[in-house]
Amino acid sequence: RLPPLDGDADASSIDAKIGGSALNTAVHLASILGARSAVAFYACVGQDVFGKMLEAHIQSASIKSHVVACPALCTGSCLVLSGPPGRAFVTASGAAAELGIGELQPLVEAVREAKGPVHVHFGGIYSYSATLRRDLPEFIDFLRTQMPGYRLTVSVDIQGHEAGQVAGVNELLPHIDLFKGNAAEAEAVCGLKTPEALEKLSQGRRAVVITRGASGADFLDAQGQGLAPAHCVEVKDATGAGDAFAAALLASWVCGTPLAEAVAKGCAAGALNCGRLGGCESPVTVEEIDELMASEGRT
């Protein structure tokens, strides 16, 4: 329970964990891909203890860091209240909201220098500034012009369903290749519940994945529509499950795996992350994903 003002409440533990929607996905993605492909991370942080923790975690995960320090602001942080009934969050966006097109110029250079296909994932859109949301469609179109010899694909994950958190996403849809969100986020964007939201968000052109927790994940692309079942696991902490899902989904789908199989791997990764504390303290591996799927005859 939450304490009243001037009150107190007991908790079984209070832990400081590295996380954040986009960071969780990047860490899990680097773990799943291993040496197969490089992962880079772009963000703004404060010059504080949390910023130092974040950068150290990025380095330990073998992720190429493009983190910009904003001395006047705190590192984006989130207080996660987690227990049997579910979760609640208290968020301070801090430096995270300072990310803009200027801070993404290293991404432009990386795209220009690419020697093969590139995928760009925009995670945690709920924390983006109004300016960045407004500029993203044009920026994505510009990125595509910078590598005419190779394919560039783009995905988004909102991680928020309040009106202010999904603002600008509809304008972004025509410019992306994959939309991933949970049922509440999908409904907030298009005004429809699953499965009707699949068609609305796809518009016949893009892949759409809508996660529904213990009910699995619905998906739709040019090859068809389906439902990937969830896995039955003991839940220790659901924090970051959707981010781990996104990582496994992208690790497969971007490399040409059919969407149905990629979503199944995402379900396995999300379930595995529910069995550990924190969003990405102990990232899932491809071996764990394959083992869980094999144990339930889903390979």
Q: Measuring CA to CA, how many Å separate 68 from each of 32, 79, 148, 238?
A: 26, 23, 28, 29
Structural domain contains residue 112: yes
Q: What share of the chain has pLDDT > 70, as a percent? A: 100
pLDDT range class, residue 55, cuts 50, 70, 90? very high
Structural domain contains residue 3: no
pLDDT tens per residue, range 195-204: 899 999 998 7
For residue 298, give the amino acid letter. Answer: R
Structural domain contains residue 299: no
CATH of the domain at 275: 3.40.1190.20
The answer to whether the beta carbons of residues 265 and 293 sit under 8 Å apart is yes
Domain count, the chain: 1
User: Global pTM?
Assistant: 0.93
Nearest CA among 225, 218, 224, 295 for reference residue 264: 218
Structural domain contains residue 185: yes
227/280 Cα distance (integer angstroms): 26
Structural domain contains residue 1: no
Structural domain contains residue 10: no
pLDDT range class, residue 94, cuts 50, 70, 90? very high
pLDDT tens per residue, range 134-168: 999 999 999 999 988 899 999 999 988 999 899 99
Buried/exposed code over 182-204 (b: 16+ C-beta within 10 A; e: otherwise): bbbbbbbbbeeebeebbebbbee
Domain that holds residue 50: 21-293
For residue 4, give the amino acid letter. Answer: P
Structural domain contains residue 283: yes
Structural domain contains residue 7: no
